[in-house]
Amino acid sequence: MELCVDDDDDDDGDGDGNGDDGLLANRVDDSVDGVSDISFDYGKESFESGSDDDSSYVSIGTLLCNWYVTHSVSLNCFSDLLDILRPHFIELPKDPRTLLKAATPKCDLSVQNVSKGSYYHFGIQNGVSMLLDKCSCTRDFSYVSVQLNIDGVPLFKSTNGQFWPVLGKLELPVRSEPFVVGLFYGESKPSNLDFLTDVIAECKLLQRDGIEYGEQVLDFNIHSVICDAPARAFVKNIKGHASYSACERCTVSGVWEGKMTFCDIDAPKRTDVAFDELQDPDHHHDKSPVSELGIGMVSQFVLDYMHLICLGVVRRLIWLWLSGPIHVHTRLGTKCVNEISEMLIRLRVYIPSEFARKPRALVYWQRWKATEFRQFLLYTGPVVLYGKVSDAVYNNFMLLSVGMFLLLNKDFCTPEFVDYAEKLLRLFVQHFSDLYGSSMVVYNVHNVIHLADDVRKYGPLDSVSAFCFENFLRKITRLVRKPSKPLEQVVRRLLEQRQYSREAGLEHSVAGPYEEHQSGCVPTYVWSCRQYKCLRVNNLLLSIKSGDNCIVLGDDICLLRNILVQNSETLFVYEQFDTKRDFFEYPLKSSSINIYFVSNLNRELRVCSITCFRMKNVLLPFGDGYVVVPLLHC
């Protein structure tokens, strides 16, 4: 049996991976049963030494357990490490399972048989309390708001085994990484929604009584539910995306043209009230138990742009250009495809560290991840397609690119810009139909017109996307180390992580220079300072290296040449571009959204304080200059 695990750095968790029966068979049995079969027990004190008065002392056993769960190493690896350390720490046991059992609290690992599979409920209260305990939020707060995600992830390549996790993500008072609320495992997707019974019951209880945290009782509400289209249809108990009444936001009636199409962009919108009353029988299967939570079954089930746009519309566009129907007349020639691919590859050295993947050639487009499609849509696509495709194709692509840029940029989430972005996206769908044919306006393409509604309610689309959840799913699958009892294995690993992990999974803002050096550019009038190559500003990496050195200081677009610290003040040494102009003028002037074509780099070294820093840019070579695009994802 092969484990379906992706070993590369993936931002969306959609990768493929390979396992090995032999490797699995040779691993130490680390299932829950294996741990419980240990016939002897050590007290936690057995692994501690040093002064009892040192309250800050952390035992070597606790440190090792933390290392084990943080890096998800195998028990064989842990055992080999203990063999090395035991001569120096005689209190350490020979078997790592003894160490884990001695320091891990007793817990009930029984699972429920439900929906033709097995389910374990971790709980929302436990997850939220764990995150609040470790957050650094100093302001008072009286309520918590949580996002929910439900999706399936295949586990094995040789069988149909799959997880259906219910994930949560703290949105207020601080934003966190996902945590597991419940976990379902079965040989197929759940046969019904009974596996959500515990989740629904706990949510109703928390909505009524609040979350107990310390001496406080915090109000609880569900911020939003984020799923892909098949999972939304399953959870909402409605018709799938290929049905005539599939659209979740309007009452458009599909037309069958070899595939279900939705060309009408002016159909009446659905409402939460109409959904609860099942007013459209062609849209519903039956009442969903999730509706018992009193949330908006239309407005709070967001249209996730990761699946809808990146893996849906952008992927379809590239397919149309490379392999689409001949009668559409938008196919690109081999020479053009090769030129675009060569340009993408040349851009690799200019891609910032915040991107999990570098550009790949179009020949690999079927293997691209969601992050790569996003990168192509917002950053590299407008550059590499310029002059390579027809004006009609390029302008249609730019309608989508600019519209999505506005909806993803927190600086442009004002009512005026959101309304404008909606107009661009509606125009994109109309032009798409004219250019590629009405038979190509499928579910994903149609739903582009509804994305602005989510921005009006929740802010930038990245705040309600599935990227973080998909990445977390990949981490869950990596916790499975052998085919036997995968659910119990993951439950055990997650409980160990909650016990030992030092990281709360919160979005920390880290600032500070590092990688000190002595060979940088320093103006003659600056002296008695320390030089650094890198600087962390919130979640951004600023560096003197290519890809991470294009920044905006005041109104100037600059290249960072050195980072100085003088008298506790951080200074930037930089060179600025003297010329900047619009890169494109359709559908608007690019300068109005801070996208420029820049040239004539002034080699004069200048110095300014870090307080002048405004944003980090993606700098891409183009002609005799560069295209500069604000970095949206960090």
Left if phi > 0, otherwise alpha if psi is -120 to 50, otherwise beta: which for 407? Answer: alpha
Q: What is the mean pLDDT of residues 51-72?
A: 65
Max avg pLDDT among 8-12, 217-221, 398-402: 398-402
Per-residue pLDDT at 347: 97
Q: What is the mean pLDDT of residues 51-75?
A: 67
- Tell me what percent of the chain is helix, strand and coil, each rounded to the nearest 5: 40, 20, 40
pLDDT tens sequence across 373-399: 999 999 999 999 999 999 999 999 999
CB-CB contact of 225 with 199 (8 Å)? no
303 CA to centre of own chain: 15
Alpha-carbon torsion (605, 609, 614, 618), positive or negative: positive
Percentage of the chain modeled with pLDDT above 90: 64
Provide CB contacts within 8 A for 326, sequence distance 6+: none
Per-residue pLDDT at 116: 92
pLDDT at 219 > cutoff 60: yes
Higher pLDDT, 289 or 506: 289
- The DSSP line for 287-301 is --GGGGG---TTTSE
Nearest to 156 by CA among 1, 383, 388: 1
Measured CA to CA, the distance from residue 429 to residue 446 in angstroms comes to 7
Q: What is the mean pLDDT of residues 436-454?
A: 96
Measured CA to CA, the distance from residue 553 to residue 541 in angstroms comes to 15
- The β-bridge relationship of strands 606-609 and 540-543 is unpaired
Predicted confidence band of residue 424 (pLDDT cuts 50, 70, 90): very high
Measured CA to CA, the distance from residue 512 to residue 251 in angstroms comes to 52
pLDDT at 105 > cutoff 60: no
Per-residue pLDDT at 146: 94
Per-residue pLDDT at 102: 55
Nearest to 380 by CA among 546, 618, 547: 618
Provide CB contacts within 8 A for 112, sequence distance 6+: 118, 119, 120, 121, 198
Q: What is the mean pLDDT of residues 47-74?
A: 62
Instruction: Annotate 3-66 with three-state secondary structure.
Output: ECCCCCCCCCCCCCCCCCHHHHHHCCCCCHHHHHCCCCCCCHHHHCCCCCCCCCCCCHHHHHHH
What are the backbone dihedrals phi and psi of residue 307, each rounded to the nearest 5 degrees, phi first? -80, -40
Measured CA to CA, the distance from residue 224 to residue 235 in angstroms comes to 13
Task: Please write down the long-range contacts of 155-159, taking CB distance under 8 Å and 24 or more positions apart.
Answer: 155/3, 155/4, 155/185, 155/477, 155/480, 155/486, 156/1, 156/2, 156/3, 156/4, 156/19, 156/483, 157/2, 157/3, 157/4, 157/18, 157/19, 158/1, 158/2, 159/1, 159/187
Residue 597 burial (CB count, 10 A): 21
Per-residue pLDDT at 507: 44
- pTM, to two decimals: 0.85
- In the chain, domain spans: 31-107, 112-304+465-486, 306-462, 512-630
Measured CA to CA, the distance from residue 288 to residue 239 in angstroms comes to 12
Is the preceding omega at residue 173 within 30 degrees of 0, hence cis?
A: yes
Record the tokens describing residue 621, joined without a space. Answer: 């070579």
Predicted confidence band of residue 288 (pLDDT cuts 50, 70, 90): very high
Percentage of the chain modeled with pLDDT above 70: 86
CA angle 67, 71, 73 (to 5 degrees): 95
Indicate the residue type of 491.
Answer: V
Q: How many residues does the chain have?
A: 634
Compute the mean pLDDT over every residue in the chain, rounded to the nearest whole number: 86
pLDDT tens sequence across 328-372: 889 999 999 999 999 999 999 999 999 989 999 999 999 999 999
Burial class (CB in 10 A: 0-12, 13-18, 19+), 604: exposed
Taking the domain 512-630, which CATH number applies? 2.30.30
Measured CA to CA, the distance from residue 444 to residue 330 in angstroms comes to 20
Record the tokens describing residue 504, joined without a space. Answer: 């709360």
Provide CB contacts within 8 A for 530, sequence distance 6+: 516, 564, 565, 566
pLDDT at 618 > cutoff 50: yes
Predicted confidence band of residue 11 (pLDDT cuts 50, 70, 90): very low
Nearest to 149 by CA among 134, 163, 130, 135: 163
Per-residue pLDDT at 559: 97
- How distant, in Å, are the alpha carbons of 35, 480, 521 from that of 156? 24, 10, 53
Q: What is the mean pLDDT of residues 529-550?
A: 92
Q: What is the mean pLDDT of residues 69-97?
A: 83
- The DSSP line for 82-113 is HHHHTTT-TTS-SSHHHHHHHHSPP-----EE
Predicted confidence band of residue 615 (pLDDT cuts 50, 70, 90): very high
pLDDT at 581 > cutoff 70: yes
